[in-house]
Amino acid sequence: QVQLVESGGGVVQPGRSLRLSCAASRFTFSSYGMHWVRQAPGKGLEWVAVIWYDGSKKYYADSVKGRFTISRDNSKNTLYLQMNSLRAEDTAVYYCARDMAEYSAYMDVWGKGTTVTVSS
């Protein structure tokens, strides 16, 4: 069945960088937009970013704009999230999710998440 697997999480010091990956399988990755969504400890879901199927459009939450970059490599069926200038408040489980319709928040398949901890 359709699968998304995140990786790249870990413990990182404030101000440092980290790159998350999301490997997609068993569907035509290049035909779908993709999202990153996170959940901080004890908090609710927070949307992070979306990228169009062809990478032509990208949108970000204000909380990460200018620090995070979403990208994709359709030849490798992989989604990325480059996170720079990390802060303690970026500590969260990060999920990637498949977008089913542009401008819709309709995410039908989710990965199991990767944990990012920002701490000195």
Partner 1 sequence: QSVLTQPPSASGTPGQKVTISCSGSSSNIGSNIVNWYRLLPGTAPKLLIYSNNQRPSGVPDRFSGSRSGTSASLAISGLQSEDEADYYCAAWDDSLNVVVFGGGTKLTVL
Interface residues with partner 1 (CB under 8 A)? 35, 37, 39, 44-47, 50, 59-62, 95, 97, 100-101, 103-108, 110-113
In terms of DSSP bridges, do strands 45-51 and 3-7 run parallel, antiparallel, or are they unpaired?
A: unpaired
Q: Smallest distance, Å, CB 108 to partner 1?
A: 5
- CB 23, CB 4: distance < 8 Å: yes
Q: Which is nearer to partner 1, 37 or 118 (CB)?
A: 37
Q: Please, what's the largest Cα pairwise distance for the chain?
A: 40
Q: What is the DSSP letter of 66?
A: T
Q: Which is nearer to partner 1, 92 or 97 (CB)?
A: 97
Q: Smallest distance, Å, CB 93 to partner 1?
A: 9
Q: Which is nearer to partner 1, 23 or 61 (CB)?
A: 61
| Cross-strand pairs, 97 | 35, 110
Q: Which is nearer to partner 1, 86 or 97 (CB)?
A: 97
Q: What is the DSSP letter of 45?
A: E
Q: Smallest distance, Å, CB 77 to partner 1?
A: 19
Q: Smallest distance, Å, CB 86 to partner 1?
A: 20
Is the Cα torsion angle 67, 111, 115, 19 positive or negative in sign? negative
Tokens of 41: 């400890």
